[in-house]
Amino acid sequence: MPHTPLDPARLTVDLIRCASVTPEEGGALQVLQKVLTEAGFFCTRVDRGGVANLFARWGEKRAARSFGFNGHTDVVPVGDVAAWSVPPFDGVEKDGMLWGRGATDMKSGVAAFVAAAVDFVRDTPPDGAVILTITGDEEGDAVDGTVALLDWMEGNGERMTACLVGEPTCPERMGEMIKIGRRGSLSAWFTLTGVQGHSAYPHRAKNPLPAMARLMDRLASHTLDEGTAHFDPSTLAVVTIDTGNPAVNVIPAQCRATVNIRFNDAHDSAKLMDWMQRELDKVSEEFGVSGEMQVKVSGESFLTPPGALSDLVAHAVETETGVVPVLSTTGGTSDARFVKEHCPVVEFGLVGQNMHQVDERVEVAQIHQLKAIYARILRDFFA
């Protein structure tokens, strides 16, 4: 007897109504665990460091092949509630749109792949396993989210043959872009320390401000690369220079600055850190000030070369939308940067124009279309 298809839009509403602002679980994973357990998935919570995560598998643990989906149910804060046209956690549907925080990023994507997976295993049980990894920490530090899930999988003999991350990937039109890689990201905090003094007697002080200006200019004016086969040129942005000095007659003792680098596969973070340290040392010596640098690496660049996985996803997208997607590495970071250490991974999801904005919303029709794409991917993968 045929099963009633799982409505991804209705499931998205249920998820939006869970106020799961990072790191709060808000009940979202509980909603999904109930749905998946009833469909025959083995489910277990993989919570770590105060972060809630869910692992779900249909099929045998050591299946010869398995297809995975990855996503998150945590959302960014709503901002000014009074600026919203609808309450951000009500999941209101009007004018063919579904409104609420997480509607685009990415409760609709999670609902679409959960609905596709549930219908698929009920109607055409595959020769293999379907694995879902869903985190509550993608919008936060991401230390105990997808990383915790992958660590748990490694320790428990769970394996995905390939994985699709359901983040929004399309700039303006449904189906137009698949992400096959991402740039790396790092931030560096610099502190230059001199000697405080009177601005009328600069020879008695060691002013760190000109030194910092020189350092930031050297870093920002340097051409990191001209781009690579699948990536645009790497970029470095100076995001702040601070002294905290309100007095016009005082040369301050310290100056601080921060830069952010988005880098392609011509670099790794270690080489970039070495380069910045060399520049810092040069400026410190030149101006007679001391310098310190602290760095946080959010992720290395990675690429899943065009091939079987991207072809599989592209075929499903074109079949369901009539749009031929481009393969891209643009944008910020995502949890695909962690999954790529486990198995080949690509990203495909909705149009992301208003994610993180006030009045975040998604076309209801797109949610159903996304489910159809994910369902076709599963059918084709296990065909």
Catalytic residues: 74, 138
Query: Which ranges of the chain would DSSP assign to H, the alpha helix?
Result: 8-16, 28-38, 107-123, 146-155, 208-221, 269-287, 308-321, 336-339, 364-382
CB 136 within 8 A of CB 145: yes
Mutual angle of helices 107-123 and 28-38, in 10-degree steps: 10
Which residues are CB-neighbours of 316 under 8 A, at least 6 positions away? Answer: 373, 374, 376, 377, 380
Determine the 3-state secondary structure of 372 from DSSP: helix
User: Taking phi first (over 0 means left), then psi (-120 to 50 degrees means alpha), and beta for anything else, what does residue 96 get?
Assistant: left
Q: In what order do the strands lie in the sheet with 129-135?
A: 42-45, 53-58, 129-135, 66-72, 162-165, 345-347, 177-179, 326-328
